[in-house]
Amino acid sequence: MESTQDLSNNTTLTSTQQAQIMAAADILRAGGTVAFPTETVYGLGADITNASAISKIYRIKQRPVDHPLIVHISSLSQLAYWVQEIPEAAWTLARHFWPGALTLILPRSRHVPDNVTGGQDTVGIRVPAHPVALALLDTLGPHRALVAPSANRFGRISPTMAAHVQEELGSDVDMILDGGACDVGLESTIIRICNDSVTVLRPGGIPLSALESALDQPVTLAHKAISAIRTSGALPSHYAPDTPLSLYPAEQIWQSALKLAHENYRILVLTWSDTNKIPPINPFIEHYSMPSDPIAYGRQLYAQLRQLDHSGFDHIFVEMPPDQPVWLAITDRLERASYNQFDKKHEHK
C-alpha cells in the first residue's frame, strides 16, 4: 500500500487510529464514502477525482446537485493546484487561519470537476485542523482532496460526534472515523474575495473581528436575503431540529413558555444569561442553562439540540444570544433553526 503520510500531522494519533485512517483511504480510493472528524463538524467525504463517489454524497445527503461542496486539502502548499488565482487577501487569511475553520471561495482551476462546484466557476476550499482529517488527507497524497459537506441530511443539524453521524446516516456511509467531539462545534466561516474586498457568506468558527485584524481592513457580511449564491446555509430554514424551535428575548422567554405550558405543551427552555438561571415552577417546563461564553456555547449547541430533539418536548424555546459580533455564527444558526417553525407547529391547532 502506498504510504505518503507526513508524520508531523500524526503525532497525536494512536496506532489503531492510524490503521483506521489507512482503511478509510482505501475505501476512498475505491470510490466509497467516509465520514471524518474536522475541528468544526463531521464531514461526509469522497475522493475529488471520483465522480461516482461524489454523486453518492449528494444522494446520501439528499442535497440538490447545484449546491457546491467544500474541498478539503492537507496544506496551504496544495492551494495553487485547485484554484486559478490567489488574491493577496486570500494568502493573508490562509496563512493566518489554516489549518482552521475558514473556507475561501476562489476561482477554480481545471482540476476541480463540475460536479463539485454545482457548475459555478468558483470553489470553496479549506485546510481542516483535526489531526485525523489531516492524516487522512496526507495518506491520500498530493493532488488528491476530499470533497465533504457536513455529514447530515440536507437542512438538518450538523454532527459534532461520530455517534451523531451513525444516527443520521447509518449504513449509507461506508465508514465513520471517530475523532471525538468537534472542538469548534459550528461550521467554518465562508469568505468570498472579490477585487480584494472580503465578504462573509456564512459566519462560522472564525469570528469577523479576527478576520479584520488579520487583514487590517473591514470585512462585510453578505445579507441573508442574497439567495443568488447557492450556499445551502443561506437558505432561511437550515440547521433545524425536528422539534419546533423559537427564539425569545431574555425578558419574554418565561412568560411565553408559561403560556404554552398552560395549554399542556412540554417546553424546554434554553438560556445563557445569569438573569434567566431560575425557571418558574411548572411541570410542563424544563430548563437547561447554556454557557455564557460563545466558544463554549458554540461547542455544545448542536449536540444539545440533537439530544433535546429526542426528549419528547413539544417546543424548544431559546434565549436570544447577545447582539455582539462574537455571537454572530450562533445567532445565525439559531435563526435558521427557528425559521417558520412556530407557525408550522401551531397553524393546525
The site for ligand TXA (CB under 6 A) is made up of: 38, 40-41, 43, 67-70, 103, 105, 117, 120, 122-124, 128, 148-150, 187-188, 190, 201, 229-233
Contacting Mg ion within 54-83 (CB under 5 A): none
Measured from the CB atom, the residue of 38 and 150 that comes closer to Mg ion is 150
Phi, psi of 90 (to 5 degrees): -70, -40
Partner in contact with 298, chosen from Mg ion, ligand TXA, none, beta carbon below 5 to 8 Å by kind: none
Partner in contact with 188, chosen from ligand TXA, Mg ion, none, beta carbon below 5 to 8 Å by kind: ligand TXA
Q: How far is CA 48 from the centre of its chain?
A: 19
Measured from the CB atom, the residue of 72 and 315 that comes closer to ligand TXA is 72
Q: Minimal distance in Å, beta carbon 276 to ligand TXA?
A: 30
Measured from the CB atom, the residue of 41 and 308 that comes closer to ligand TXA is 41
Measured from the CB atom, the residue of 74 and 232 that comes closer to ligand TXA is 232
Residue span binding Mg ion (CB under 5 A) among the ranges 18-26, 29-37, 149-157, 275-283? 149-157
Measured from the CB atom, the residue of 122 and 341 that comes closer to ligand TXA is 122
Measured from the CB atom, the residue of 232 and 246 that comes closer to ligand TXA is 232
Partner in contact with 345, chosen from ligand TXA, Mg ion, none, beta carbon below 5 to 8 Å by kind: none
Q: Minimal distance in Å, beta carbon 325 to Mg ion?
A: 22
Out of 10, 33, 150, 243, the residue judged to bind Mg ion by CB under 5 A: 150
Assess contact for 158 and 239: CB atoms under 8 A.
yes
Q: What is the DSSP letter of 150?
A: B
Q: Minimal distance in Å, beta carbon 41 to ligand TXA?
A: 5
Nearest-5° angle of CA 246, CA 251, CA 257? 45
Give 57's contacts (C-beta < 8 A, 6+ positions apart): 33, 44, 45, 46, 63, 69, 147, 148, 149
Residue span binding Mg ion (CB under 5 A) among the ranges 27-35, 85-93, 144-152, 335-343? 144-152
Q: Minimal distance in Å, beta carbon 146 to ligand TXA?
A: 9
Measured from the CB atom, the residue of 37 and 279 that comes closer to Mg ion is 37
Measured from the CB atom, the residue of 186 and 260 that comes closer to ligand TXA is 186
Buried b (16+ CB within 10 A) or exposed e, 60-86: bbebeeebbbbbbbbbeebbeebbeeb
Task: Give long-range contacts, CB 8 A cutoff, 24+ apart: 15-24.
Answer: 17/132, 17/135, 17/177, 17/179, 18/135, 20/175, 20/177, 21/132, 21/135, 21/136, 21/139, 21/177, 22/139, 23/175, 24/136, 24/139, 24/175, 24/177
Q: Minimal distance in Å, beta carbon 95 to ligand TXA?
A: 19
Partner in contact with 38, chosen from Mg ion, ligand TXA, none, beta carbon below 5 to 8 Å by kind: ligand TXA
Q: Minimal distance in Å, beta carbon 318 to Mg ion?
A: 20
Binding site for Mg ion (CB under 5 A): 150
